[in-house]
Amino acid sequence: MSEETNINTATNYSADSIQVLEGLEAVRKRPAMYIGDVGEKGLHHLVYEVVDNAIDEAMAGYCTHIEVSINEGNSITVQDNGRGIPVDMHEKEHKSALEVVMTVLHAGGKFNKDSYKVSGGLHGVGVSCVNALSKQMKTQVFRDGKIYEQDYSCGKPLNEVHQVGETTLRGTRQTFTPDDSIFIVSEYSYDILASRLRELAYLNAGISISLTDKRVCNEDGEYRNETFHSTEGLKEFVRYIDSSRTPLISDVIYLNTEKQDIPIEAAIIYNNGYSENVHSYVNNINTIEGGTHLAGFSRALTRTLKKYAEDTKALDKAKVEISGEDFREGLTAVISVKVAEPQFEGQTKTKLGNNEVTGAVDQAVGEALAYYLEEHPKEAKMIVDKVILAATARIAARKARESVQRKSPMGGCGMPGKLADCSDKDPANCELFLVEGDSAGGSAKQGRKNKFQAILPLRGKILNVEKVMWHKAFESDEVNNIIQAIGVRFGLDSEDSKKANIDKLRYHKIIIMTDADVDGSHIDTLIMTLFYRYMPELIQGGYLYIANPPLYLCSKGKVKEYCYDDDARQRFIDKYGNGNEKEINTQRYKGLGEMNPEQLWDTTMNPETRILKQVTIRDAAEADYIFSMLMGDDVGPRREFIEKNATYANIDA
C-alpha cells in the first residue's frame, strides 16, 4: 500500500465507515454461542477479540505497538498506537461512533472494505461482545490530540463519550473486568496469553506486543513481563517450532509474495523426524482444520518435489511407489494467507472455504520451491532421499498393520487378550481405562461397572513414538493393544495412509489412569504423545482424558477424606487437626495398586465423584513444540524447560 493511499484511508476512517449489522441483546443470555464457552477458553477469548482490533490496525499499516496487561483483580488492559476508534457522530445511529462500536454487535470498520483491506476478526464477535460480558469496561481513545472516554457496565454505557484531556498519544486503550456471574473461571493464565501473543508477533513481523502481569513481581521487584517481536516473521516461527528437532537441511525455504491479490507467506523446513507438522493461518487465525490454502500448499509441494525427483532420475533406483504423504514426512511448515473476504466453515473459523485461494497458494509455493530446489541441488537430494525413506517406511507400516491383524494374542473380534471389555455397545456410553500395571488393572477390573467401563492394563512405559519411524509403533504390542482396543484404523485415506480413521471408535471416553508419581506422569506423557502424533482426531474430538487419583487418605477419628493435592491435605489438617500435622493420620498412595477395588471406584472411577482432566489442543504450534522438546532427542531445550519450570513441578521423593 502506497503512502498516499495510507493517508487517504486514514482521513476517510470516520463515523461513516462504521456499519451496523445487528444488536447486542443475546450475548449475555447465551455467551457460549459467541465466545465458545464460559470457562478458560472463553475468558481468554475476550482478550483475543480486543487484541484482534489492534492487529487489524497493524495489518492496515497504522499500528506498531500493542501492550497487554493483566491487572490485579484479573482485569485486562489492551493499548495500541493505531488511529483510535472514531468518536464523531454516527449518522444512522445518532450517537458517537465509539459508543456504536462498543455497544452494538457486529459494528465496526472491518465491515467496510475501505477501512480495512483484510481483518482477523471478521467472523469474530468484536469488542462489543467483550463489553457485554464485562461487569466494568472503560474505553479511552487518543485521537486528534485529545483523550476521549466512556464507561460501561454489562454492555451498557454509564455516561456519554466525553473529552477528559489532551495528549500526544494516538490509539485506543481498553480496560475490562470479565463478569464473574457469567464465567466459571475468573483467573487469567499468563502462559495462555503469552502463547497467543507470541504467535501473533511471528505472524505479523515488525510489530511489538508486550505482556505484563501486574499480579506477579520478579525477584528484582519488577512485574513479570515479556515483549514479543519478530523481524523475520514466519522464518523465525518455523525455527521456534522446530528448535528441539535435528534439521535435515539448514535452510528455511521461505516465500512472501502476492498472487491474485492474496498476500501469501510461507516458511518450510525439513528435519530428520517422522511426523508432518503444517500449521496454517488465515488473517492471523489458526485454521486447525486446514482448508483451501492448505490444499494448495500440499498440492504444490507434492507436484514440485515429484517433478524434481523424476527429472533428476532419483526415483529410478528406489523402486518404490511414492505417495503424496511421503513428501511431507519430517516437514514442518507455517503458511499464512491474508484474504479480503474469507469464508470460513462455521463460526469457529477452523477451515477456509475460498476456492480461489487454492490456486494462488499452489502457484506461489510451486514457484518458490522449484527455484530453491534448482539453486540448492545438495539440499534437494537430501529431501528426495528422505522422501524415498518415508515411502519405504510407509510400506513397512502397512505390512506391520496387516501382520498385527493376523497375530494370535488378540482375542475374539481382534481385541487384545488383556482387554476387559464392557457390555454396552454404544460408544457414547462407553469408557476405556488405560491402566498402568497389572496390579492396578486387576483392582480396576474388580471395581469397575462392567456395563459401560472397559479396562486395558498396560505393562510399564509404552514406546516413545516421538523418537522412532512411523511403522515401528505398529511393532510394539502395547501400542497395538491400544489402537486395536479403541477401534482406530489406519491406511483408509487414499491421500494420507497415516490419517487415523475414527468412524468405528468404540469408546467416547478414553481415560489414562496412572500412579500419582513421577513415573505415572511420564507414562501419561508417553500415551499423550502417541495420541497427539498418531491419533490427534481423538484429542480434537474431546475423547481423551486423564484420571486424577488421590494423593492421600486423611483421617481424624471417624472422619475420613480423600485429598487430591497438598492444598487439600493442608485444609484437612487446618480443619480437623488445628493446623497440627501430628493430630491427623495420613496415608500416602504411592500407586493405584495400593487401593482396593472399592477405593479405586470411589476416588477415581465413579462418574459421580471422580475428577477427570480433558486433554485439549489449545495451540497446535505450541503443542507441536512442547511434544518434540519433551520427548525428542535434543537434551538442551528439555533441560532448559525443566530448570525454568522446576518451581511449579510436583516432585515425588
Question: Residue 371 belongs to a domain with what CATH number?
Answer: 3.30.230.10
pLDDT at 393 (0 to 100): 84
27 phi, psi to nearest 5 deg? -60, -45
- 260 and 143 together in one domain: no
Q: Is 489 helix (H, G, I), strand (E, B) or coil?
A: strand
Residue 597 to residue 448: CA distance in whole angstroms: 8
Identify the domain boundary among 168, 203, 229: 229
Is there a domain that residue 86 lies in? Answer: yes
Residues in the chain: 653
Q: Kindly name the residue from 515, 524, 622, 624 that is annotated as catalytic.
A: 515
Helix (H) or strand (E) holding 227: strand 223-229
Q: Kindly name the residue from 519, 561, 565, 594 that is annotated as catalytic.
A: 519
Is there a domain that residue 57 lies in? Answer: yes
- 104 and 170 together in one domain: yes
Residue 519 annotated to the active site: yes
Strand partners, 549: none
- 88 and 113 together in one domain: yes
pLDDT at 240 (0 to 100): 92
C-alpha cell at 216: 506477579
- 188 and 65 together in one domain: yes
Q: What distances in angstroms separate CA 92 from CA 21, 113, 129, 427, 512, one per listed residue?
A: 12, 19, 21, 54, 57
- 223 and 364 together in one domain: no
Question: Residue 208 belongs to a domain with what CATH number?
Answer: 3.30.565.10
Is there a domain that residue 423 lies in? Answer: no
- 159 and 64 together in one domain: yes
Radius of gyration of the chain (CA): 27
Residue 109 to residue 114: CA distance in whole angstroms: 8
pLDDT at 627 (0 to 100): 76
Question: Which residues, other chains included, contact 65 with Cβ-Cβ below 8 Å and sequence gap of 6+?
Answer: 80, 81, 207, 208, 209, 210
Q: Give the chain's domain count.
A: 2
- 299 and 377 together in one domain: yes
Residue 517 annotated to the active site: yes
Cα atoms found within 13 Å of the Cα of residue 369, Cβ hemisphere only: 28
- Average pLDDT by consecutive 10-residue portion of the chain (653 residues)? 44 64 70 86 92 89 95 96 91 86 72 52 68 95 95 94 94 96 93 94 95 90 94 95 90 94 95 90 87 94 92 81 88 93 70 93 96 94 91 82 55 69 94 90 91 91 85 86 91 82 94 86 89 90 92 91 90 92 88 87 92 83 77 68 52 36
Helix (H) or strand (E) holding 146: strand 146-153
pLDDT at 410 (0 to 100): 39
Strand partners, 613: 546
Is there a domain that residue 214 lies in? Answer: yes
Q: What distances in angstroms separate CA 370 from CA 253, 310, 381, 579, one per listed residue?
A: 11, 13, 13, 71
259 phi, psi to nearest 5 deg? -130, 130
- 215 and 331 together in one domain: no
Identify the domain boundary among 229, 248, 264: 229
Is there a domain that residue 623 lies in? Answer: no
Residue 466 annotated to the active site: no
Q: Which residue has the cell 481423538?
A: 538
Residue 193 to residue 203: CA distance in whole angstroms: 15
pLDDT at 346 (0 to 100): 53
pLDDT at 347 (0 to 100): 47
Is there a domain that residue 315 lies in? Answer: yes
CB 283 within 8 A of CB 118: yes
- 219 and 260 together in one domain: no
Residue 652 annotated to the active site: no
pLDDT at 565 (0 to 100): 86
How much is the pTM? 0.74
Degrees to nearest 5, angle at CA 642 with 641 and 643:
95
pLDDT at 647 (0 to 100): 43
Is there a domain that residue 31 lies in? Answer: yes
10 Å CB burial of residue 376 (0-12, 13-18, 19+) is middle
Is there a domain that residue 139 lies in? Answer: yes
- 202 and 173 together in one domain: yes
- 358 and 265 together in one domain: yes
**Interior/surface letters 637-651, b for 16+ CB within 10 angstroms, e for the rest:** bbeeeeeeeeeeeee
Q: Kindly name the residue from 56, 242, 466, 517 that is annotated as catalytic.
A: 517
Q: Kindly name the residue from 199, 436, 622, 624 that is annotated as catalytic.
A: 436
Residue 333 to residue 242: CA distance in whole angstroms: 9
Identify the domain boundary among 367, 394, 421: 394
- 328 and 279 together in one domain: yes
CB 93 within 8 A of CB 100: yes
Q: How, if at all, do strands 453-458 and 431-436 pair?
A: parallel
Range of the domain at 336: 234-394
Residue 599 to residue 443: CA distance in whole angstroms: 9
